[in-house]
Amino acid sequence: MKRLLDEPALRSLARGCAVLGTGGGGDPRIGLLLALQALEEVGPTELVDLDDLPRDALIMPCGMVGAPTVHIEKIENGGEGAVLREHLERLTGRTVAALMPAEIGGSNGLLPLTWAGRMGLPVVDADGMGRAFPLIPQVSMHLAGIDPNPGVMTDERGNVVVFRAISGAWMERLERSAAVEFGGAGAATEYIMTVAQARDGAAVRGTFTLAIKIGDALNTAVGDSMAALVAVTGGFPLVTGKVTDVERRTTKGFVRGSVVVEGLGDDAGRLLRLEIQNENLVALEQGRVLASVPDLITVLDSETADAIPTERVRYGQRVTVIAMQCAPIWRSQFGLETAGPRAFGYDFDYVPVEELAGAYA
């Protein structure tokens, strides 16, 4: 499968990345603008399947690290991917064959595509999460035992930092502190791998295709967009209502806070609380967990069915919150240790969203 990503594909992709971003990964509108500009300047990026690349070809996972609130004001210069690749190739003595988003969610699903197109490289139809997560080791490559080293970061000014960390957790600490010093966000690559490793479980496959499919469904929906979204994602609507409270702070390279949604219409009288660390982590109602990481929780504009990033949620918005099943790898024991509720400090065990939805139906 090879596909050239034209403007309609990019527009669908951006909507799909917003849904899969579960609030994080950076505002896809910024990512879309950068992608459209690259399309105009250098032509379309090629999307390829992992099966179309040689087994020993090298894949560079990449994206932005930092707080999405910063990302909407401090824009990439578009050349970060080339800087990351140049240093990675010099460090490893090997040639990068394709780029892959570390996370398909949000702007981070679009940026690697833009970077790849500007270098004449393809982007693979896969990512490291099938969504967006706040921490660097919360990727399928970590679950597959891929070495995070060398990590490379750069900023729009041209500073470059290379990391050889003793663990994924140290990679997270060191990259986060550099992101903070860069002004709150920076471009990064880590967990470089071969196509064979990616095929063997180190990547979540088909997520570009999924994101485009979600965007297409929303774009072509007649009438009830939410129903179209639920049909294409198999998602579970949690509540429809109005944002009545937003608490949000940008600190230590993350956006943290919470959002309260008060039910309207059929949901009148209900109060749903979302807890946030870059992404929506947990949906609570009267102390009951309705959905939690690693499952996806997305806040959408009730009228346009556009997913709203955590940094854009504000008082008064009419929203619908839906939850979706995560990629199966996250439901393994190691997956839950890495990105389940307890990995974020919550004192409860993960229950799959489809079971929770059944229990409270």
Residues that bind its own copies (CB under 8 A): 87, 157-166, 170, 173-174, 177-178, 180-181
Neighbouring residues of 26: CB distance < 8 A, sequence distance ≥ 6: 64, 68, 71, 72, 106, 107, 108, 111, 309
Radius of gyration of the CA atoms of the chain, in A: 19
Q: How far is the CB of 161 from its own copies (least distance, A)?
A: 5
Q: Residue 98 or 161: which CB sits closer to its own copies?
A: 161
Q: Which two tokens stand for residue 209?
A: 């295709």
Residue 314 structure tokens:
């504000």
- Specify the residue, 15 or 176, whose C-beta has the smaller distance to its own copies: 176
Look at the alpha carbons of 163, 164, 169, 174 in this order and tell me if their dihedral is positive or negative. negative
Residue 191, C-beta contacts closer than 8 angstroms, at least 6 positions apart: 61, 102, 128, 139, 141, 142, 146, 147, 148
Find the shortest distance in angstroms from Cβ 188 to its own copies.
Answer: 13
Residue 335 CB, shortest distance to its own copies, in Å, is 26
Q: Which is nearer to its own copies, 165 or 229 (CB)?
A: 165
* Residue 183 C-beta: closest distance to its own copies, Å: 10
Q: Which residue number, 130 or 184, has a Cβ lying nearer to its own copies? A: 184
Identify the three-state secondary structure at position 311: coil
Among residues 67 and 239, whose Cβ is nearest to its own copies?
67
Closest approach, Cβ 178 to its own copies, in A, equals: 6
- From first CA to last CA, the distance across the chain in angstroms is 40
- The half-sphere exposure of 191 on its side-chain side, counting CA atoms within 13 A, is 31
